[in-house]
């Protein structure tokens, strides 16, 4: 295997992995605070991808501009979903929450199927075919931009949680729910806010991902599983962990596609997940519960 090919594939894996990481970050933030696993996460991702396709098809809006309205709408929808449906399920057993979100996911997947049919959709922007060349190293412009946007969004979220008052309040809810209630925080509102933020992350990730792959309605469950794998490998509730997990999975997928066969790529991810769950259940960067 020529070295420059391996290097190029690895770089592409890292860049795609950062977008994966942003998607998983949304799941991680939601689980870390609300303690509910969002089984509709990948389905939300595909909705964002369709949104970018539509905005581009109808109004020629570049995905990097489409990010803003799509993320805003997703924030509102995520807030409504948590406030209306999920908040009453916080104290229910896990299998109840699972069915609730599976039902939501089913409606999402099939709503897309009704609206857009089963065929793959994509969009074409001029810079998708351009790249920078450094000797034998090729850097796809679309991939670089997408990864940069993912990093910027993650950084913004990180700063929000670290320094803003609301971010601190949300972290307080996650650390000690009862304590947060005692000091008078509106926990349900903060939960909804968190779900909104997690949804906005997915929206950005979806708008970026559509530059890299085609979308079909059935892609949702695969992305949901992918997000779980990443978040558990990186450490549930750890923000840098989600990005690290994303990069690891992105690279392992890319290399498995190169060395073994593309269809075996998710076997690598699930193998990695099983190993991490067994030997470091809190994830690579997670704290012990």
> Among 279, 278, 255, 274, which Cα is nearest to 265's?
255
Examine residue 164 and tell whether it contacts other proteins (CB under 8 A). no
Pick from 118, 126, 135, 184: which binds other proteins (CB under 8 A)? Answer: 118
Q: How far is the CB of 177 from other proteins (least distance, A)?
A: 16
Q: How far is CA 116 from the centre of its chain?
A: 22
Examine residue 99 and tell whether it contacts other proteins (CB under 8 A). yes
Pick from 225, 255, 258, 284: which binds other proteins (CB under 8 A)? Answer: 225
> Among 235, 252, 250, 271, which Cα is nearest to 25's?
235
Cβ closest to other proteins, residue 54 vs residue 139: 54
Examine residue 263 and tell whether it contacts other proteins (CB under 8 A). yes
d(CA 180, CA 184): 6
Piece of 13-21, 157-165, 167-175, 268-276 that binds other proteins (CB under 8 A): 268-276
DSSP state of 101: H
d(CA 157, CA 138): 30
Examine residue 228 and tell whether it contacts other proteins (CB under 8 A). yes
DSSP state of 92: S
> Where do we find the tokens 């979220």?
157
Cβ closest to other proteins, residue 67 vs residue 104: 104
Piece of 10-18, 204-212, 221-229, 238-246 that binds other proteins (CB under 8 A): 221-229
- Burial code (b: 16+ CB inside 10 Å, e: under 16) for 84-115 equals eebbebeeeeeeebeebbeebbeebbeebeee
Examine residue 37 and tell whether it contacts other proteins (CB under 8 A). yes
Examine residue 261 and tell whether it contacts other proteins (CB under 8 A). yes
Q: Which residues would be at the binding site for other proteins (CB under 8 A)?
A: 37, 85, 88, 92-96, 98-100, 102-107, 109-114, 117-118, 217, 221, 225, 228-229, 232, 261, 263-264, 266-267, 270-271, 273-274, 277-279, 281
């Amino acid at each position: 295997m020529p070295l420059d090919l391996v290097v190029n594939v690895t770089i592409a894996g890292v860049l795609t992995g950062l977008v994966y990481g942003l998607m998983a970050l949304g799941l991680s933030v939601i689980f870390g605070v609300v303690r509910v696993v969002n089984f509709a996460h990948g389905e939300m991702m595909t909705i964002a991808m369709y949104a970018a396709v539509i905005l581009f098809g109808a109004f020629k809006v570049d995905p990097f501009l489409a990010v803003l309205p799509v993320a805003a709408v997703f924030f509102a929808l995520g807030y409504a979903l948590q406030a209306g449906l999920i908040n009453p399920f916080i104290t229910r057993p896990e299998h109840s929450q699972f069915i609730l979100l599976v039902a939501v996911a089913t409606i999402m997947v099939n709503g897309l199927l009704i609206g857009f049919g089963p065929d793959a959709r994509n969009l074409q922007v001029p810079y998708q075919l351009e790249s920078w060349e450094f000797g034998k190293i090729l850097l796809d412009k679309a991939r670089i931009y997408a990864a940069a946007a993912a990093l910027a969004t993650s950084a913004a979220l990180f700063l929000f949680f670290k320094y803003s008052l609301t971010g601190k309040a949300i972290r307080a809810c996650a650390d000690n729910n009862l304590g947060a209630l005692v000091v008078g925080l509106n926990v349900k509102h903060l939960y909804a806010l968190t779900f909104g933020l997690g949804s906005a992350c997915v929206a950005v990730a979806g708008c970026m991902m559509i530059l890299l792959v085609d979308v079909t309605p059935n892609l949702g469950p695969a992305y949901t599983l992918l997000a779980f794998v990443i978040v558990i490998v990186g450490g549930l509730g750890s923000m840098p962990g989600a990005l690290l997990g994303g990069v690891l999975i992105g690279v392992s997928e890319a290399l498995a596609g190169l060395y073994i066969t593309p269809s075996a790529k998710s076997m690598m991810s699930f193998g990695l997940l099983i190993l991490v769950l067994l030997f470091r259940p809190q994830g690579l960067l997670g704290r012990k519960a």
